[in-house]
Amino acid sequence: MSILVDENTQVLIQGITGSEGSKACKNMLAYGTRVVAGVTPKKGGQRVEGVPVYDSVRDAKKNHDADATVICVPAMFAKEAIMEAIENRIPLINVLTEHIPIHDTAVCLAHARKAGVRIVGPSSVGIISPGKAKLGSIGGSGPDRAFIKGPIGVISKSGGMASEISLILTRAGLGQSTVVGIGGDVLIGTIYHELLELFEDDPETKGVVIYGELGGTYEEQLAEFVKAGRFTKPVAAFIGGDFASTLPEGVALGHAGALIEGNVGHPRAKREALKEAGVMIASVPGELADLMKNALG
Amino acid sequence: MKLYEFEGKRLLARHGIQVPTGIVVKAGDDHTPEHDIAVVKAQVLCGGRGKAGGIKVANSKKQIKEHITALQDIAIKGEKPSCILVEEKLEIKKEYYLSIAYDTRHRTPVVIASAQGGVDIGDKEVLIEPIDLAEEFTKEKATDILRKADFDDAEKISTILLHLYHCFTTNDCRVAEINPLIKTRDGRLIAADAKIVVDDDAQNRHPEFDFPPRSASGRKLTPYELAAKQIDANDHRGTAGGSFYDLDGDIAILASGGGASLTCVDALMGYGGKPANYVEYSGNPPREKVKQLAKVTLSKPNIKGCWVVGGTANFTDIYETLGGFMDALDELKEKPTYPIVIRRAGPRDAEAFEMIKKRAAMRGYDITLFSNDVPMTVTAKTVLEKAR
């Protein structure tokens, strides 16, 4: 088993007829993901890469079971698409769209919480369980370059760093169980410690590697979770953004959530909290593999 | 985008929240005061304005004019006021703090309230109460929150909180803060200051907003920043330029990916390097956008080295994006003689590297290429050594 996605996961793609959606569809199918249907309003009846397209999630669900949906619709229509997935109780909603207005995200998170479904993202690069299946753009058309099957879970706010860190692990002979791009927005559906809960129960996962950065409190919440003894496997983290924390308050660089507000969001404070909780801290991403290797013995 | 006080107050007033009567005085305006007593306030975006001397109370028409002139000339934390706000002076009976903002711990908007408003709110006890967006935010809920925060006039002030909530949601605010909310001696409730931040990602559903462009800190945008931002404003495919931040070092940077760019600039500075700029392009921008961005970045004077750095791209076309970079080199007014270090991998990277080698040899550029077998942070050292 793996967390979130595996070879049995049946997947919808909302926005499948768009350029990003059709590219994601092609790459997901090539990797062996079971893409069962796509949704684009008014494009029902078409096919993309052989996958049937429906006008609505409801229509798609009449003919297919769906365990997960990938959202790649433009930012201004993302809320509508996510709400449709929530209303149809798709258990996992992976939102790739970037620049969704924060209010739209907040509304979707509130409804997802009530409906008991999980949102990963927005601004997620996707999710991959190497050798099994992938959602979204992660790994592009050649995931095997960076991702191989193995015992390490990876959680990253950054899509590029998810690949970069996985490649570092792969080169060191450490494959990955599941790699999750959680997105770098201020508000995201699934944060580090919520995935640790899943990795804790996943027998394939022996340790977890984290890419975090300045802004918000998600790294601190991860530290609290580990400190409380709720995750028993080794965790190593790299936290970026020292440079950005020297800029005037309110300047966001790289990701929408990467900004300092008052005393909140400093990378140094995040590292201290994580260290105190027993998380191993890498000073450059290249150290993550060694730290994890040492911890696993 | 952070709004100036006078812009924020106009939004609040539009949503039924009373603000002091006042007038905006711009440079060159000939202002004739109506009253003898007024508060004269410099319009800046940075915080701590009062303590820095940006707010003055005048007791005569002459003094009002003097204060306006004085405040037009000062700089607060390096920021020149955009204009001056002249307002009625309020007779204060009590000050409160009221704001709505997004909170990462609750992952919702939260009401932040304190029955003791005013300066140094960060040191005071505040109540933080999440708002459930899956339900209606009612007057009863607003009243309950204010009672919990020990407001003496919760019932009456809840109307203001409700107005503030509507202002927050309908204008796509990131932050809507009133500090202080003042109860005057004659019993009026007035927003004496406003700090409003609107969501840049929601700008295109607010055609009514006419706020001039500005940097988050109130620092005037540099010509390079303005030019770079224009690239994204003209073409929404991928991002290339919106994040440009001018710095005073000598290593020009074109980084890719939000996280990788931060990681790489940290590494460069860790090795003692000084970036000439920060910028990040990602999301598979078209060749033309990368070309324009490279031209802006490399048009800065005194560049000693250029670092094009990114991780292993998931879907950004490396051939097209680096092709855009090479196009820019050919079009620069002065042919670059400084070393260029490129570290990049991802879709079509083998093709891209062949193309770069050919064009560099033909035109005589000093380009060092790395793929993802060398850690990206290590290539920071390479660019610094070569630039020395």
> How high is the pLDDT of residue B59?
95
State yes or no: pLDDT of B119 exceeds 80: no
> How high is the pLDDT of residue A140?
84
Provide φ and ψ at A243, rounded to 5°. -60, -45
Contact B58, B64 (CB under 8 A): yes
Contact A185, A205 (CB under 8 A): no
* Structure confidence at residue B77 as a pLDDT band (50, 70, 90): confident
Mean pLDDT computed over every residue of chain A: 95
Residues B304 and B229 placed together within one structural domain of the fold:
yes
Q: Quick check: is B3 in a domain?
A: no
> How high is the pLDDT of residue B220?
77
Shortest CA distance to B264 belongs to which of B116, B377, B154? B377
State yes or no: pLDDT of B224 exceeds 80: yes
> How high is the pLDDT of residue B382?
97
How many angstroms separate the Cα of B36 from the Cα of each of B24, B28, B64?
17, 21, 8
Q: Quick check: is B147 in a domain?
A: yes
* Nearby residues of B241 by Cβ (< 8 Å), 6 or more positions away: B227, B228, B229, B230, B231, B232, B279, B281, B289, B292, B293, B296
Q: Which chain A residues are Cβ-neighbours of B256 within 8 angstroms?
A: 160
**DSSP element (H, E) containing B84:** strand B84-87
- Concatenating the DSSP letter of every residue in B296-344 gives HHHTSSS--EEEEEEEE-SS--HHHHHHHHHHHHHH-SS---S-EEEEE
Q: How many angstroms separate the CA atoms of B268 and A84, rounded? A: 45
**Chain A interface, best mutation among B200, B221, B314, B349, by max A CB count within 10 A:** B314
State yes or no: pLDDT of B55 exceeds 90: yes
Q: State whether B46 and A243 contact (CB < 8 Å).
A: no
> How high is the pLDDT of residue A243?
87
Question: CATH number, domain at B271?
Answer: 3.40.50.261
Domain of B99, in residue numbers? 92-205
Residues B342 and B244 placed together within one structural domain of the fold:
yes
Mean pLDDT of the B70-82 span = 90
> How high is the pLDDT of residue B48?
84
Domain boundary among B67, B87, B107: B87
At residue B357's C-alpha, the angle toward residues B353 and B361, to 5°, is 170
Provide φ and ψ at A192, rounded to 5°. -45, -55
Q: How many angstroms separate the CA atoms of B190 and B178, rounded? A: 9
Q: Quick check: is B7 in a domain?
A: no
Total CB pairs under 8 A between chain A and B: 186
* Structure confidence at residue A275 as a pLDDT band (50, 70, 90): very high
Read off the pLDDT of residues A101-126 as tens digits, 9 standing for 90 and up. 999 999 999 999 999 999 999 999 99
Residues B272 and B308 placed together within one structural domain of the fold:
yes
> How high is the pLDDT of residue B31?
83
- Which residue spans of chain A are classified as CATH 3.40.50.720? 1-125
Q: Quick check: is B370 in a domain?
A: yes
* Structure confidence at residue B33 as a pLDDT band (50, 70, 90): confident
What token pair was written down for A57? 């999630």
Residues in B 52-71 with any Cβ partner in A closer than 8 A: none
Mean pLDDT of the B219-235 span = 88
Its CATH class, for the domain covering A1-125, is alpha beta
> How high is the pLDDT of residue A261?
78
Residues B184 and B245 placed together within one structural domain of the fold:
no
Q: State whether A254 and B243 contact (CB < 8 Å).
A: yes
Shortest CA distance to B322 belongs to which of B370, B383, B258? B370
Among chain B residues, CA nearest to A247: B217
Residues B75 and B104 placed together within one structural domain of the fold:
no
Mean pLDDT computed over every residue of chain B: 93
> How high is the pLDDT of residue B242?
85
Residues B244 and B382 placed together within one structural domain of the fold:
yes
Residues B77 and B102 placed together within one structural domain of the fold:
no
Q: Which chain B residues are Cβ-neighbours of A187 within 8 angstroms?
A: 102, 104, 107
> How high is the pLDDT of residue B371?
93
What token pair was written down for B336? 């670059």
For the sheet containing B280-282, what is the strand order? Answer: B239-240, B280-282, B251-256, B305-312, B340-345, B367-370
The nearest CA of chain B is from the CA of A257 a distance in Å of 10
Is the bond preceding residue A122 a cis peptide, omega within 30 degrees? yes
Q: Is A266 a catalytic residue?
A: no
Identity of the residue in A107, A214, A286 whose CB atom sits nearest the CB atom of B377:
A286
Read off the pLDDT of residues A49-89 as tens digits, 9 standing for 90 and up. 999 999 999 999 999 999 999 999 999 999 999 999 999 99
Residue type, B20: P
Question: CATH number, domain at B100?
Answer: 3.30.470.20
State yes or no: pLDDT of B121 exceeds 90: no
Contact B177, B191 (CB under 8 A): no
Of the residues A64, A99, A193, A255, only one is catalytic, namely A255
Shortest CA distance to A74 belongs to which of B205, B273, B104, B129? B205
> How high is the pLDDT of residue A260?
77
Shortest CA distance to A230 belongs to which of A282, A271, A194, A191? A194
A146-297: CATH, from 3.30.1330.120, 3.40.50.2000, 3.40.50.2300, 3.40.50.261:
3.40.50.261
**DSSP element (H, E) containing B294:** helix B287-298
Residues B251 and B173 placed together within one structural domain of the fold:
no
The nearest CA of chain B is from the CA of A113 a distance in Å of 9
Domain boundary among B148, B178, B205: B205
Q: Report the share of chain B in percent with pLDDT over 70.
A: 98
* Structure confidence at residue B313 as a pLDDT band (50, 70, 90): confident
- Concatenating the DSSP letter of every residue in chain A gives --SS--TT-EEEEETTTSHHHHHHHHHHHHTT-EEEEEE-TT-TT-EETTEEEESSHHHHHHH---SEEEE-S-HHHHHHHHHHHHHTT-SEEEE------HHHHHHHHHHHHHHT-EEE-SS--EEEETTTEEEETTTTT-GGGT--EEEEEEEES-HHHHHHHHHHHHHTT--EEEEEE---SSS-SS-HHHHHHHHHT-TT--EEEEEEESSSSHHHHHHHHHHTT---S-EEEEEE-TTGGGSPTT---SSTT---BTTBT-HHHHHHHHHHTT-EEESSGGGHHHHHHHHH-
Residues B80 and B112 placed together within one structural domain of the fold:
no
Residues B176 and B111 placed together within one structural domain of the fold:
yes
Mean pLDDT of the B60-73 span = 94
Residues B189 and B327 placed together within one structural domain of the fold:
no
How does strand B195-198 pair with strand B245-246? unpaired
Q: Which of the residue ranges A186-200, B291-305, B307-321 would you say has the lowest mean pLDDT?
A: B307-321
State yes or no: pLDDT of B265 exceeds 90: yes
Q: What is the CA radius of gyration of chain A?
A: 18
Which one-letter DSSP state was computed for residue B5?
H
Read off the pLDDT of residues A23-47 as tens digits, 9 standing for 90 and up. 999 999 999 999 999 999 999 999 9
State yes or no: pLDDT of A229 exceeds 90: yes
**DSSP element (H, E) containing B62:** helix B61-73
Read off the pLDDT of residues A123-153 as tens digits, 9 standing for 90 and up. 999 999 999 999 999 988 889 989 999 999 9
Domain boundary among B44, B68, B87: B87
**Chain A interface, best mutation among B3, B222, B266, B319, by max A CB count within 10 A:** B266
Q: How many angstroms separate the CA atoms of B145 and B143, rounded? A: 5
Tell if the pTM clears 0.90, that is, is over it: yes
The nearest CA of chain B is from the CA of A213 a distance in Å of 7
* Overall number of domains in chain B: 3
Mean pLDDT of the A169-179 span = 97
Residues B227 and B331 placed together within one structural domain of the fold:
yes
Question: CATH number, domain at B25?
Answer: 3.30.1490.20
B57 three-state secondary structure: strand
Q: How many angstroms separate the CA atoms of B50 and B151, rounded? A: 25
> How high is the pLDDT of residue A253?
78
